[in-house]
Amino acid sequence: MKIRAPRDFWAGLMFIAFGIGFVWVAQSYQMGTSVRMGPAYFPTVLGGLLAILVLAIFIQSFIASGSPVPRFYFRPLILIVLATVLFGILLKPLGLVLSVAVLVGVGAFGGFEFKTKEVAILYVVLAIFSVWVFVKGLGLPIPVWPGE
């Protein structure tokens, strides 16, 4: 059996694994019924549907020709995960505004192009939006600046 569409094969395999993983993790919770759903109901149904729907893409990878899998770059993955972790660590000591600056700055280095003007605009818009939604709108007790 020959894989004719490697990109579809690996994407299908990955999503089938996610679907089965959701179903497997949810088994430790109560399922409930469709009328009175338990905590396992939604992840089980969603994971099962994901695995079943993606099965068609997985099977198609053996039938139809497709594009090869492009080269995988670790740098974006590592820098975006690092940016997210740094945001979580720095949120309390630096406050929301400066933590968003670290998030956007480190995350921007994960891309293939770094344009200072675009990154600065993204930072300003995201910082204003975050303060407006999370602090002002939802009233979450997140420090906006260091020392608050």
How far, in whole angstroms, is CA 102 from its chain's centroid?
18
What's residue 2's pLDDT? 86
> CA torsion sign, 76 to 77 to 80 to 82?
negative
In a 3-state reduction of DSSP, which class is residue 31?
Answer: coil
pTM listed for this prediction: 0.66
Mean pLDDT, contiguous 10-residue spans, the chain (148 residues): 88 91 90 88 90 89 85 92 97 96 95 92 97 96 92
- The DSSP secondary-structure symbol of 93 reads H
